[in-house]
Amino acid sequence: MDGKHGAASKLAARSVGSGRVPALGGSGGKTAAVLGGGLSGLSAARSLLERGFDVSLVEKRPFLGGRAYSFYSREADTDVDNGQHVFMGCCTYYVDFIEALGAYGDAALQDSLRAEVVRDGKRGVLMSAPALGPLHLMPSFVRYPHLGVVDKIRAAYGLLRAALTDRRRHAGALDGESFYSWLKRHHQSDGAIEGLWNLIILPTLNDTVHSVNADMALMVIQEGFLKQPRAAAIGYARVGLSSLAGIPGQRFIKDRGGAVILGRAVRAILVGDGGVSAVRLSDGSTLEADAYVSALPFGALLDCLPPERAREPFFAAAAGLTSAPIVGIHLWYDRQIMEESFAAFLGSPVQWVFNRSRIQGEAGASGQYVCISLSGAWEFIDRPKDELRKLFTEEMRRLFPLARRAEVRKCLVIKQPDATFRCVPGVASHRLSQATPIPNLFLAGEWTDTGWPSTMEGAVRSGVYAAEALAASF
């Protein structure tokens, strides 16, 4: 429970003794309860507050932000993010969301894409030339050293086919096909797949080209790289992730008279003839509202629904979703080992390295803090942390000459086994719509049907879509 929060404190007071917690009502507005305080729940709460609803948000953990948060690590004796998060210029709902929370100033977004890609010490740069419009990547692509001439011609053909593919028209077929199969059908060599396509797909879809479906992969390529130059720009938080959404999100709700209930889990969504009548919380109290947005992960939603409702085909479809891991290796060196803000690596288990010191505006410091982000990290998720520390500090010495003489002062390994849902072939039929067969229950969560992969943008969109569907139902 947020002790500083007047409205939330009132809820706690009412729950004592009565065991029943009415959602805050006020100014004759309709009440809405949001279940789950990740980005999707925060986004739903924001949209509902802006539509005049009285909103109560329940989150089981003592803080908001869901899978995008920062925390104090006793091991490293400093604040760290649970994982490096990146957004792109095409993430317009996410940018609008952090702007509304007053946190956009704490994020950085490139004017246009510039990313170094290194293989065996050879540096290439993928960058936009915005003046060239849809051909903005062409000059850097021509100079890109990690593809031979033939592979470049093939890759250019593949990009053209990607740009011309009508995803709406072929949605079913593309959802059912792996992107690898699509690439092979379009004459892509293994060299082009490794040196270009997987470089884009692995960090954006948290899975390899072999496993993702062609629809989501083409969505990333079209929205992120082919529609307009600014869309490809890379952005990130310059502060801890909680300061970008969780903390300002809580303040946003509070300032608009909403309630935030922290540290209490939703145990059951109680459904009667007319729809959801209340939700039961972990302390035995119940929370009532006119309408509900579940912004819970898919597994938690199914656990909280009455079993007979969870077995209905509409909801049961979500049981087919699966998740993918991310592992972060955080290293504190006694000196500077890299200059750029981030770089990608080919031919190495290191995929992307982020220069956290520079990103956080501490570039002048004597040492340097960097984070290796490993997407689709099945190979590493079950390996002992000491083994990962050894493997990656040695690999960093191979990749960064300046790391060879540097001392690693601290190393922290953060494993997130269920970082994202997997965009495997057939996933579309498992993503539920925001409106449900239960009239006053709406769904948010990046795993719902947003048309986006498992991203902060998808989470924020899902919250907006759920709020729109809820508002339209009155």
Ligand X SMILES: Cc1cc2nc3c(=O)[nH]c(=O)nc-3n(C[C@H](O)[C@H](O)[C@H](O)COP(=O)(O)OP(=O)(O)OC[C@H]3O[C@@H](n4cnc5c(N)ncnc54)[C@H](O)[C@@H]3O)c2cc1C
Contact set with ligand X (CB under 6 A): 35-41, 58-61, 66-68, 82-83, 85-87, 265-266, 295-297, 300, 326, 416, 419-420, 445-446, 454-457, 459
Residue 173 burial (C-beta neighbours within 10 Å; 0-12, 13-18, 19+): exposed
Specify the pairing of strand 291-294 against strand 441-443.
Answer: parallel
Closest alpha carbon to 355 in 441, 364, 242, 301: 364
With respect to ligand X, which residue has the nearer C-beta, 134 or 417? Answer: 417
Instruction: Give alpha helix (H) positions in 19-146.
Output: 39-50, 92-100, 138-143
Question: Whole-number minimum distance, CB 84 to ligand X, in Å?
Answer: 6
Q: What is the DSSP letter of 93?
A: H
Question: Whole-number minimum distance, CB 418 to ligand X, in Å?
Answer: 8
Question: Whole-number minimum distance, CB 196 to ligand X, in Å?
Answer: 20
Q: Please give the structure tokens belonging to residue 411.
A: 């190393």
With respect to ligand X, which residue has the nearer C-beta, 147 or 443? Answer: 443
Question: Whole-number minimum distance, CB 218 to ligand X, in Å?
Answer: 18
Q: Please give the structure tokens belonging to residue 137.
A: 């990547």
Question: Whole-number minimum distance, CB 421 to ligand X, in Å?
Answer: 8
Beta carbons within 10 angstroms of residue 151's beta carbon: 20
With respect to ligand X, which residue has the nearer C-beta, 425 or 445? Answer: 445
Asked whether the beta carbons of 58 and 281 are under 8 A apart, the reply is yes
Question: Whole-number minimum distance, CB 215 to ligand X, in Å?
Answer: 18
Q: In what order do the strands lie in the sheet with 441-443?
A: 259-262, 54-59, 31-35, 291-294, 441-443
With respect to ligand X, which residue has the nearer C-beta, 43 or 128? Answer: 43
With respect to ligand X, which residue has the nearer C-beta, 147 or 329? Answer: 329
Residue 416 sits at the vertex; the CA angle it makes with 410 and 422, to the nearest 5 degrees, is 145
Question: Whole-number minimum distance, CB 152 to ligand X, in Å?
Answer: 28
Q: Please give the structure tokens belonging to residue 229.
A: 């130059």
Measured over the CA atoms of residue 107, residue 108, residue 113 and residue 115, the dihedral's sign is: negative
Give me the residue label for tokens 């989470």. Answer: 459
With respect to ligand X, which residue has the nearer C-beta, 137 or 459? Answer: 459
Does residue 354 sit in helix, strand or coil? strand
With respect to ligand X, which residue has the nearer C-beta, 283 or 402? Answer: 283
Question: Whole-number minimum distance, CB 270 to ligand X, in Å?
Answer: 14
Q: Measured between alpha carbons, how far is 99 from 171 in angstroms, rounded to an integer? A: 33
Q: Measured between alpha carbons, how far is 82 from 67 in angstroms, rounded to an integer? A: 8
Question: Whole-number minimum distance, CB 324 to ligand X, in Å?
Answer: 10
With respect to ligand X, which residue has the nearer C-beta, 336 or 434? Answer: 434
With respect to ligand X, which residue has the nearer C-beta, 218 or 456? Answer: 456
Kindly report the backbone phi and psi dihedral angles of residue 144, in degrees, each rounded to the nearest multiple of 5, phi listed first: -55, 120
